[in-house]
Amino acid sequence: MKAMILNRICRFDEDQTPLEMTDFPDPTPADDEILVKVSACGVCHTELDEIEGRTPPPHFPVVPGHEVVGRVVEVGETASRFNVGERVGIGWLHSACGSCRFCLSGNENLCRDFKATGRDRNGGYAEYVTVPEASAFPIPEGFSDAEAAPLLCAGAVGYRSLRLTGLGNGQNLGLTGFGASGHLVLKMVKHRYPDSNIFVFARSKGQQVFARELGAAWAGDTRDASPEKLDCIIDTTPAWEPVVAALENLAPGGRLVINAIRKEARDKTSLLQLDYPVHLWMEKEIKSVANVSRRDLKEFLLLAGEMHIKPDIQEFPLAAANRALVELKTRKILGAKVLRVG
């Protein structure tokens, strides 16, 4: 099969073609797995974290990609959830141990044996991929394959982040960073919490304009003060500076949810500016998001189908994965980027 593979850690500043198109062995499903012919795969900031070593793969070569949509072409001997020909989606959660207290409580995302699609196991920047049947999900009707792909991570982790804020209808929500996940959260909030106002903080003027077009009450720079204090803020940036700024914009009793796998080490000096009375006092809270659970994926896909939440997408052929990643890195992005594979 054709696949875009990562062979080593590198900096995009030095190498803007870290992925190599190659002929890769076709995968074979294990007994509890399905084999999926990939038609579309979303491009996520986590791929940048893998390539640049912030969340490095445990082995090389590896096929990135964890927002995968395709059709089942083969099932393992004990797999029974899906039939050949069914359309499925695969997200960041590849597998977990299934027996620890986190797995048994539906929080597989916290399992010590969590394995990620496209990092610990080969992912969707390829013509075929295998996955345990428990980690594949039916895609609702009404979405093209490309439209469905960003739902598998940007949408699902945005859904988990929103759930963790505890936002109530009528409360103000801030979104720091406005990429694939942020714009889907905005669409969810507009539908589920019609009396809530959304305030967007983004470095890109284009993203600020895009946020207002989607219904944000206000949009400004990540360092700006919001026009009013916010009950909840979701941060999706890779840096610490916006976190400090977000805490200053929180109302008393407010909660900041950080939706990021890693923060840039070189930005740690921003934390030295943390002023307890200004940033944390008055019972403000900080909570992190760790991956997604199967519950998040299942519930969000059902919600997306009911609400007809469609991401704004830009499509690229599989061979142009490096270009898509460069545009993501340099913030030339409105909505989500998706690779056409099949």
State how far the Cα of 8 lies from the Cα of 62, in Å rounded to an integer.
Answer: 9
Question: pLDDT at position 274, please?
Answer: 87
Does residue 265 have a pLDDT over 80?
no
Q: What are phi and psi of 48, to 5 degrees?
A: -65, -40
Does residue 212 have a pLDDT over 80?
yes
Does residue 333 have a pLDDT over 70?
no
Which tokens in the block code for residue 227?
A: 């026009």
Does residue 335 have a pLDDT over 80?
no
pTM of the model: 0.90
Does residue 119 have a pLDDT over 80?
yes
Question: pLDDT at position 244, please?
Answer: 94
State how far the Cα of 182 lies from the Cα of 192, in Å rounded to an integer.
Answer: 15
List, in sequence order, the alpha helices (H) in the chain: 45-51, 101-104, 145-148, 154-165, 180-192, 205-213, 241-249, 294-307, 321-329
Q: Are 29 and 79 in contact (CB under 8 A)?
A: yes
Give the pLDDT confidence of 5-20 residue by residue, as tens digits: 999 999 887 778 999 9
State how far the Cα of 110 lies from the Cα of 266, in Å rounded to an integer.
Answer: 27
Which tokens in the block code for residue 62?
A: 């590896």
Give the pLDDT confidence of 152-201 residue by residue, as tens digits: 998 999 999 999 999 999 999 999 999 888 999 999 999 999 999 999 99
Q: Where does residue 285 fall: left (phi above 0), alpha (psi -120 to 50 degrees), or beta otherwise?
A: beta
CB atoms within 10 A of CB 50: 24
Question: pLDDT at position 86, please?
Answer: 98
Domains of the chain from N-terminus onward: 2-153+292-340 (3.90.180.10), 156-288 (3.40.50.720)
State how far the Cα of 127 lies from the Cα of 212, in Å rounded to an integer.
Answer: 37
Question: pLDDT at position 310, please?
Answer: 84
Does residue 338 have a pLDDT over 90?
yes
User: For residues 36 and 262, which has the higher predicted lDDT (pLDDT)?
Assistant: 36
Q: pLDDT band at residue 139, thresholds of 50, 70 and 90? A: very high
Average pLDDT over residues 102-115: 97
Question: pLDDT at position 163, please?
Answer: 95
Q: Are 37 and 74 in contact (CB under 8 A)?
A: no
Residue written as token pair 């445990």: 58
